[in-house]
């Protein structure tokens, strides 16, 4: 039986790192989001094959050789397990097409892991990556975070391991022990040093992949957050027990951002075991009044003149966004 660890997570939840840690075992391999390599396997385009592995690039011997042998009519995981000699395959967030086509074999046992991170960090990253889409915390929470959390709930409604990213960061030993018994292989504490193992990631966070390359003495590449990962590289090189943990939201969130987050996400935040910020009723009142004032002179995304809305409709618009 092949074990497929199916990690489901929101964007910006540290998923590439979690993948890499769980791929750091002699019986496991991690591929990250599987759709890119699956398409390369099916299409067999020479250039894509040569650049399939984001860790070794053209020097990779793993994927080009696998793809040479890959048979489109056979199950992807059965072929990958045979080729790699691994019995645990770790991936995250596969597409519906991939699930329907590859994940119903009776030779695979799927283990779901639902990853949750402090939502303030998710929202902060989403705003940094897409400033045009997410103008402030209120809108990012309402229009992206809350709908995404609801989708995640539906995707992982069956038996699963709820993995708090922060638990793996701050209580690595205990969390990896619990993950070991859930997945069915014994991870040693050494999987924390993921760079001591071979990985052939084909998709994921480029900052994390760049860090892995540099820790393995490989070339790495330029990306937007070089400074952050340069510091992480230095920390890990000096003392490999220091977790790479990004708390930059704490420096950039204003008081209004904190109030907006707590007003919209506070109960979800608490449900997952995070401590809520202390916010007063007056602050919430001011937040909502500001949101109502912001609607003035604003055209909604579908072109309606929001000035024509009644007071109740305005309140609904503030609370539900474009869905109202
Ligand atoms: Zn490779």
CATH topology of domain 2-142+159-238: Rossmann fold (3.40.50)
Question: What DSSP line would sit under 188-244, residue for residue?
Answer: -GGGGSGGGS-----SS-HHHHHHHHHHTT------TTHHHHHHHHHHHHH-TTS--
Q: How far apart are CA 11 and CA 39, in angstroms?
A: 21
What tens digit of pLDDT does each residue of 97-143 get? 999 999 999 999 999 999 999 999 999 999 999 999 998 999 999 99
Q: How far is the CA of 65 from the centre of ligand 1 (A)?
A: 11
Centre of ligand 1 to C-alpha 57, Å, is: 7
What is the 25 CA–ligand 1 centroid distance (Å)? 16
For ligand 1, the distance from its centroid to the CA atom of residue 89, given in whole angstroms, is 15
Q: Taking residues 68-82, what's their average pLDDT?
A: 97
For residue 246, how far is its CA from the centre of ligand 1 (angstroms)?
27
Give the residue-averaged pLDDT of 275-288: 94
Tally: H helices and E strands in the chain: 17, 5
pTM over 0.85? The answer is yes
- Please state the rounded mean pLDDT for residues 33-60: 95
Q: Given this model, what pLDDT does residue 324 score?
A: 46
Q: How far is the CA of 40 from the centre of ligand 1 (A)?
A: 14
For residue 202, report the distance from its CA to the centre of ligand 1, in Å: 8
Residue with tokens 């070089």: 226
Percent of the chain, pLDDT > 70?
Answer: 92
**52 Cα to the center of ligand 1, angstroms:** 8
Which residues line ion ligand 1, judged by CB < 5 Å? 53, 55-56, 60, 62, 200
Could you tell me what percent of the chain has a pLDDT over 90? 73
Find the 179 Cα to ligand 1 centroid distance in Å.
26
**91 C-alpha to ligand 1 centroid (Å):** 16
Alpha-carbon distance 7 to 32, whole Å?
A: 9
Ligand 1 center to residue 80 CA distance, Å? 14
Instruction: Report how far ligand 1's centroid is from the alpha carbon of 257 (Å).
Output: 42
CB 2 within 8 A of CB 81: yes
Residue 198 alpha carbon to ligand 1 centre in Å: 8
User: Domain extents for the chain?
Assistant: 2-142+159-238, 249-323
Angle at 273 between CA 268 and CA 275, to 5 degrees: 85
The per-residue pLDDT for range 195-219, each reduced to its tens digit, is 999 999 999 998 889 889 988 888 7
Residue with tokens 């708090």: 164
Cα(309) to ligand 1 centroid in Å equals 56
pLDDT band at 295 (very low <50, low <70, confident <90, very high): confident
Q: What is the mean pLDDT of residues 153-168?
A: 93
């Amino acid at each position: 039986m092949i074990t497929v660890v199916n990690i489901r997570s929101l964007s910006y939840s540290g998923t590439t790192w979690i993948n890499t840690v769980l791929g750091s075992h002699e019986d496991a391999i991690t591929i990250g989001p599987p759709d890119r390599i699956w398409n390369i396997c099916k299409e067999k385009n020479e250039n894509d094959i040569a650049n399939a592995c984001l860790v070794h690039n053209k020097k990779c011997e793993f994927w080009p050789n696998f793809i040479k042998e890959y048979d489109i009519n056979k199950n992807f995981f059965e072929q990958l397990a045979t080729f790699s000699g691994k019995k645990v395959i770790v991936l995250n967030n596969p597409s519906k097409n991939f699930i329907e086509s590859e994940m119903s074999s009776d030779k695979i046992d799927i283990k779901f892991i639902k990853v949750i991170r402090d939502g303030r960090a998710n929202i902060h990253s989403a705003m940094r990556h897409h400033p045009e889409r997410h103008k402030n915390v209120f809108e990012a929470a309402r229009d992206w975070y809350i709908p995404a959390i609801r989708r995640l709930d539906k995707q992982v409604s069956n038996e699963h391991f709820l993995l708090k990213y922060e638990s793996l960061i701050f209580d690595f030993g205990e969390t990896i022990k619990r993950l070991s018994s859930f997945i069915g292989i014994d991870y040693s504490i050494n999987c924390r040093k993921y760079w001591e193992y071979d990985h052939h990631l084909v998709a994921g966070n480029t900052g994390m992949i760049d860090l892995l390359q540099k820790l393995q003495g490989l070339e790495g590449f330029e990306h937007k957050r070089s400074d952050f990962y340069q510091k992480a590289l230095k920390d890990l090189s000096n003392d490999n027990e220091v977790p790479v943990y990004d708390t930059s939201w704490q420096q950039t969130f204003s008081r209004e951002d904190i109030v907006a987050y707590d007003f919209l996400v506070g109960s979800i935040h608490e449900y997952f075991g995070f401590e809520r910020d202390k916010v007063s009723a007056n602050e919430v009142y001011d937040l909502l009044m500001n949101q109502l004032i912001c609607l003035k002179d604003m055209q909604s995304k579908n072109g309606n003149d929001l000035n024509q809305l009644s007071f109740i409709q305005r309140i609904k618009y503030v609370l539900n966004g474009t869905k109202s």
